[in-house]
Amino acid sequence: MSNGDSVITILLMLLFGVLYISPIVAVILYLKSRAKRKEAIKKEKEKEAEKYSAYISGIVKHSGGLPMAKGIMINFFMSNEKLTFVKDNQEISLDRSKILNADLVSGKNAKQEVMMGAMAGSMVVDPLYGAIYGSMLAKHKYLVITYKKDDEVRFISLDTENSDLYFQRIINDLKVCSSEEQGKIEL
């Protein structure tokens, strides 16, 4: 083997090394920066939760009842004293003593959603099991919080889909609070 061949071999090895090692290094650097970003977001969420004395916090989609646009993602904070809804610089609070009830309810078009999900499921999987599976997936739920303001019963509706909140815990905590003040309602 001549000196020229060994130089070419070394250059080829370096080239292949760069081509194979560069993507691995890039992936490692990306994962590190992503982990740092996630940690920064987590610290920011903890800081906000601490600001509102919240023991439950997360992001949820507003679907009605608050003086802000429907369909926007808002920050939700639940403390022992109040519920706080925040979007940008707008902050809305609801004292927990005013809450009458909280429940998960099916969507406005629940029957239509179930039928559409069943049809889609039956096309993808076996017709019988696909219909069952599709109808289960299609159920859309909302967290509805009923409260009293100026002797008038009002509600706040929050879309549970794509939210990071644990809604059953919220409901259980609010029911404990509101059950003490439940009374008769005359229609």
**What residue spans define the domains of the chain?**
1-51, 53-179
The domain defined by 53-179 folds into PH-domain like (2.30.29)
Residue 100 to residues 96, 154, 155, 161: CA-CA distances in angstroms? Answer: 9, 10, 10, 24
CA-nearest of 55, 72, 61, 41 to 143 is 61
pLDDT in single tens digits along all 187 residues of the chain: 566 678 888 888 888 777 888 888 888 888 888 888 888 877 887 788 788 888 988 889 999 999 999 999 999 999 999 999 999 889 999 999 898 888 888 765 544 544 555 455 555 555 555 555 455 555 678 888 888 888 888 889 998 887 777 788 888 888 765 554 555 555 6
The pLDDT, as a whole number, for residue 182 is 53
The pLDDT, as a whole number, for residue 94 is 94
Q: How far apart are the first and last CA of the chain?
A: 100
Structure tokens at 23: 């993507």
pTM over 0.75: no
The pLDDT, as a whole number, for residue 95 is 93
Cβ atoms of residues 171 and 95 within 8 Å: no
The pLDDT, as a whole number, for residue 110 is 47
Determine phi and psi for 105, rounding to 5 degrees.
-125, 155
